[in-house]
Amino acid sequence: MSRHVIRPFEEADLPAAAGLLAERHQEHRKRHPLLPADYEDEQLALVEVTAAWETEGASGAVMVEGGEITGYLLAAPKQSPVWGPNIWVEAAGHAVREPEHIRDLYGAAAAKWVDDGRIAQYVLVPDDPALIDAWFRLAFGSQHAHAVRAVPDSPLLPPPDLVVRRAVRADIPVLAELDLELPRHQRLSPVFSSGELPTLEEAVADWEESIDDLDYATFVASYNGEVIGSSIGCSLDKSSAHNGLAKPDNAGFLGFAAVLPSARGLGAGRALGEAVLQWSAQTGYTSVVTDWRVTNLLSSRAWPRLGFQQTFHRLHRLIGH
């Protein structure tokens, strides 16, 4: 006789799932105390699981052992062609007492997803090595990193041959060019991103409208009097990619950084990242969040060196290829 039963997720399962999620988050915060404490509370964890369940197209499975729910998995599609025929397990979409059991839950739930044509599959996993290993053994691979660090205690100075300052309207032409540089780089090997590339005219128009927006702090780095890179800081509230359990309280966000290819290797990227860290500290934030494609060789090395610690891994699987 099987030790457990797996069946479709039902609305009545929400409280038990919330308890499992709160347990998982408690353990996660032992490694990353900057993550929000709220979701250690089962009632607040219930809000997150309920939101996952009530997302249009959501489906999943629960594991029952001895009459007790000991694991659950929930996913829903995103209405965006960028992600392909997709299904997403968000941060609140899974929790298990035993990491190996996520494989059983996926085996039960994924049949419907594939039958529905949802062959591009994504999951946001906390940095629990055993849980990540279980997902890897479901043929998921690492695609994107979410990370956090505390704000610096003391001022950070750029290399002596670089000048880092706030952007002004006269910088718009080069800011627009730098806006194109990041998606251009992401399209190259080994990232191969299919993200949209705006035109230079669109980028200029956007900067003409937004350069004076006080919600964003834009910095430029110059070398020998020429602007070679830029970065942008803002409140983490401005980022739609960081929500719920993955959203630290009172956090700034390093939302963008790019350096012209001809100027790489001068330390501008690090200096621009440090400018956002310093701005975040001066603004009163207690931590800073950023994220990056793990196949982006530049950012995946630069941001950990700047003190960012990965909290969540976005994993990806493409079925049938």
231-249 confidence digits (pLDDT tens): 999 999 999 999 999 999 9
**CA 132 to chain centroid:** 16
Q: Is residue 212 part of a domain?
A: yes
Whether 148 and 259 have beta carbons less than 8 Å apart is answered as: no
Q: Is residue 321 part of a domain?
A: no
Do 118 and 196 sit in the same domain of this protein?
no
- The DSSP code for 76 is B
For 302, residues 6+ apart whose C-beta sits below 8 A from its C-beta are 269, 270, 273
Mean pLDDT for 59-79 is 97
Q: What does the longest C-alpha to C-alpha distance in the chain come to? A: 75
| Strand partners of residue 65 | 68
Q: Is residue 100 part of a domain?
A: yes
Do 192 and 300 sit in the same domain of this protein?
yes
- List phi, psi (to 5°) of 202: -65, -40
Q: Is residue 209 part of a domain?
A: yes
Q: Which of 248, 314, 301, 247 is nearest to 90 (CA)?
A: 314
Long-range contacts made by residues 79-87, C-beta under 8 angstroms, separation at least 24?
A: 82/194, 82/195, 82/196, 83/120, 83/122, 84/119, 84/120, 84/318, 85/117, 85/118, 85/119, 85/120, 86/118, 86/120, 86/121, 86/122, 87/113, 87/116, 87/118, 87/120, 87/121, 87/122
Write the pLDDT tens digit of every residue in 208-234: 999 999 999 999 999 999 999 999 999
58 CB-contact burial (10 Å; exposed 0-12 / middle 13-18 / buried 19+): middle
pLDDT of residue 1: 41
Do 93 and 124 sit in the same domain of this protein?
yes
Do 180 and 298 sit in the same domain of this protein?
yes
User: CA separation (Å) from 80 to 77, 87, 98, 236?
Assistant: 9, 11, 33, 22
Do 166 and 278 sit in the same domain of this protein?
yes
Place of tokens 């999951």: 123
Q: What is the CATH number of the domain that holds 87?
A: 3.40.630.30
Write the pLDDT tens digit of every residue in 261-292: 999 999 999 999 999 999 999 999 999 999 99
Pairing state between β 216-223 and 226-235 = antiparallel
pLDDT of residue 194: 83
Write the pLDDT tens digit of every residue in 120-161: 999 999 999 999 999 999 999 999 999 999 999 988 788 889
Q: Find the domain containing 41 and state its range.
A: 5-138
pLDDT of residue 81: 81
Do 279 and 211 sit in the same domain of this protein?
yes
Whether 128 and 50 have beta carbons less than 8 Å apart is answered as: no
Last residue of a domain, one of 138, 164, 189: 138
Specify the number of domains making up the chain: 2
For 233, residues 6+ apart whose C-beta sits below 8 A from its C-beta are 216, 217, 219, 252, 253, 254, 255, 275, 276, 279, 280, 288
Q: Binning pLDDT at 50, 70 and 90, where does residue 2 land? A: low
Q: Is residue 66 part of a domain?
A: yes
pLDDT of residue 156: 79
Do 199 and 123 sit in the same domain of this protein?
no
Do 217 and 76 sit in the same domain of this protein?
no
Do 25 and 103 sit in the same domain of this protein?
yes
For 201, residues 6+ apart whose C-beta sits below 8 A from its C-beta are none
